[in-house]
Amino acid sequence: MSFSLRTLFRSLRALSPSPRLGCLVPQARPRLESLEGRLAPAINFTSGVLTITGTSNADQFQLQLKSGDAATLQVTDNGNTQEFLLSAVNQVSVIGDDGADTLTLNLANGLVGKTGGLPVAFNGGPGTDTVRLLGDPGTALNTTISAGANARAGTLAATAGSSSLAMTFTAVDSVIDTSTGNLTVNATAGRDLLRIGNGAVINGLATNTIEAGDTNGKVAILHSTGSASNPTVLIYVDESAVDAHLRHGDTLADDTNDNGDSSTIIPLTFANKAQVTINTLAGNDVIRLGNNLSAATGLTNLTLNGGADFDALVARDLPSGVGLTLNNLERILSNTKEIFIQNLYEELLRRTPSSAELASWLAVLDDKGALTVINDIVRSVEARSVLVRDWYLQFLGRAAVNNEEQGWVQMLRNGATEEQVVSGILRSQEFQQRANALIGGTNTDENYVRALYQLLLNRDPDSQAMANNWVSAIGSFGRQAAALSFLRSGELRANFVTDIYQTLLKRAPDSAGLNGWVSSSLDLFSLRLRILLSAEFFQNG
């Protein structure tokens, strides 16, 4: 929100040289920067804690050691640099606020660390935020990046000689590491789906990417209701809707209902790494090597360690010129037909097929073709139970218990469409209670409408008048009819098709294809089935 201030007085102490420390030690921030119409300090150094606060715009932060003076830490905030005696800094906190913010650790003059470790915390806030590492510290560098407890969070530990760095980051969308050294990546102790692919060329460097597939496709959010008696509600939203909720004042939540079915590792792009080790730890994990995979600049050895439980490697192509070490991987798939069955199990059943199941479905595939395999799996009780359990999380904010989802599953098996079943869940008294808690207003019909917008379209209504129109429609036709209208809308279908393309085909739909699917008479189940039946999914999924 922008606003003006009639007067603003701020006393500052100027930078003064410290004879004892032999460098400039700021006692207070000498520079003021505009922040949403206000003037606010950007850098503050107090009692050994260095705090850097960004603006609502895209901020560029950088930490590096001073060239020729490793005892001095240089801090750059949107092009303005200050210097601090490294030994006096006990902790660094960077707060990105809104905007697409980037925190860069430039290691060209050595690791931004100290003996005993330098703690650094980065909160990117709303917006698409990035952590970058670059440069050659001149000493053997070992970096470990680990998944956090929830989405967009994690840790980064780095050592070079006697210096070390310990970073925690939250509300971060990607990590780009082109610093020279070795890299270890730790996934979660739950079930992880990791994909290693080709990345963009960065400053002339070929890169590889490591991305996680979230097997339930949702992010847990603590939604702020504004109610004193019920201030927050746990909801599940699409990744694309996370920023809007953070701007609303919501926070990321630990997902206690995911049953270990999602990975929280942040997308990572790397180059200049001689040795890369990927540990998926516990859980029935799957590691995928992307099609036509080529090695990042500098990569000579890649180690994949599945850890405990039953883990699989899916690899149509292996990067040439790279030594590959495989540990604790119980299944390795390189055949297109085997990968096709594996993909169906991952996407529809959230698990890896047993050896007997794999052999059985391969026989069906050879005998009756892909249509029979897909139809049998997608219409199975197991696949539909997975689907309905997802709807419980998304719309009721809780896991289904005591097989209560089976009534809805049977409706699907008896011929009801997904739209009809979801609208039935949305008609329930439990959902109305959830809508009241989620929105917090006094008009229960308006709460219902706004909850539909948030949970189905990932946005608020365009205007109060639009919300009022839907409230009037509920008075005439009922809540289930309103829910069905949302579920059959072009906007929801476009989002649905886009998500299916990204999940199954690993790409965005072209505009002509998207429009064709959206305007077709196919229901949501049939849309998904047609894409599963495509040659592209069979060959490249």
Amino acid at 257: N
Alpha-carbon distance of 537 to 142, in angstroms, equals 38
Question: Is pLDDT at 53 greater than 70 in this prediction?
Answer: yes
**Do the Cβ atoms of 527 and 493 come closer than 8 Å?**
yes
Q: What is the pLDDT of residue 219?
A: 63
Any idea what DSSP says for residue 205? Answer: B
pLDDT digits (tens, 9 = 90+) for 493-539: 999 999 899 888 888 999 999 999 999 999 999 999 999 999 999 98
User: Residue 308, Cβ neighbours under 10 Å: how many?
Assistant: 13
Alpha-carbon distance of 323 to 59, in angstroms, equals 39
pLDDT digits (tens, 9 = 90+) for 417-464: 999 999 999 999 999 999 999 899 999 999 999 999 999 998 889 999
Q: Which tokens belong to 372?
A: 């029979």
Q: What is the pLDDT of residue 237?
A: 66
Buried b (16+ CB within 10 A) or exposed e, 467-481: beebbebbeeeebbe
Cβ-Cβ contacts under 8 Å for 418 (sequence gap 6 or more):
387, 412, 523, 524, 525
Q: How confident is the model at residue 226 (pLDDT cuts 50, 70, 90)?
A: low
What is the overall mean pLDDT for the chain?
87
Q: Helix, strand, or coil here: 102?
A: strand
Q: Helix, strand, or coil here: 298?
A: coil
Query: Which residues in the chain are classed under CATH 1.10.3130.20?
Result: 219-257+382-488
Q: What is the pLDDT of residue 32?
A: 40
Q: Of 271, 243, 138, 253, which Cα lies nearest the Cα of 459?
A: 243
**Do the Cβ atoms of 165 and 111 come closer than 8 Å?**
yes
Question: Is pLDDT at 9 greater than 50 in this prediction?
Answer: no
Alpha-carbon distance of 270 to 199, in angstroms, equals 8
Cβ-Cβ contacts under 8 Å for 442 (sequence gap 6 or more):
none
**Do the Cβ atoms of 312 and 331 come closer than 8 Å?**
yes
> Using CA of residue 211, residue 240, residue 375, residue 519, what is the dihedral sign?
negative
The span from the first CA to the last CA of the chain, in angstroms, equals 44
Q: Which tokens belong to 513?
A: 């294809």
Cβ-Cβ contacts under 8 Å for 218 (sequence gap 6 or more):
236, 237, 238, 262, 390, 393, 394
pLDDT digits (tens, 9 = 90+) for 82-117: 999 999 999 999 999 888 999 999 999 999 999 999
**Do the Cβ atoms of 174 and 152 come closer than 8 Å?**
no
**Do the Cβ atoms of 394 and 236 come closer than 8 Å?**
yes
Say if pTM beats, i.e. exceeds, 0.75.
Answer: yes
Which residue is it, tokens 């049998």?
Answer: 376
Question: Is pLDDT at 307 greater than 60 in this prediction?
Answer: yes
Statement: 219-257+382-488 belongs to CATH 1.25.40.10: no
Any idea what DSSP says for residue 23? Answer: E
Alpha-carbon distance of 396 to 235, in angstroms, equals 8
Phi-psi region of 13 (alpha: psi -120 to 50; beta: other; left: phi over 0): beta
Question: Is pLDDT at 222 greater than 80 in this prediction?
Answer: no
Alpha-carbon distance of 495 to 508, in angstroms, equals 11
Alpha-carbon distance of 26 to 14, in angstroms, equals 8
Q: What is the pLDDT of residue 491?
A: 96
Q: Of 392, 384, 309, which Cα lies nearest the Cα of 348?
A: 384
Question: Is pLDDT at 486 greater than 50 in this prediction?
Answer: yes
Alpha-carbon distance of 348 to 343, in angstroms, equals 8
Alpha-carbon distance of 186 to 169, in angstroms, equals 15
Quickly list H helices, 394-532. Answer: 406-413, 418-427, 429-439, 444-452, 464-477, 479-487, 490-500, 511-519, 524-532
Q: How confident is the model at residue 252 (pLDDT cuts 50, 70, 90)?
A: low
Residue count (the chain) = 541
**Do the Cβ atoms of 172 and 129 come closer than 8 Å?**
yes
Question: Is pLDDT at 214 greater than 90 in this prediction?
Answer: no
Alpha-carbon distance of 361 to 216, in angstroms, equals 24
Q: What is the pLDDT of residue 13?
A: 36
Q: How confident is the model at residue 28 (pLDDT cuts 50, 70, 90)?
A: very low
CA 395 to chain centre: 20
Alpha-carbon distance of 454 to 221, in angstroms, equals 12
Alpha-carbon distance of 96 to 274, in angstroms, equals 32
H/E run at residue 376: helix 370-378
Q: Of 409, 111, 131, 121, which Cα lies nearest the Cα of 266?
A: 131
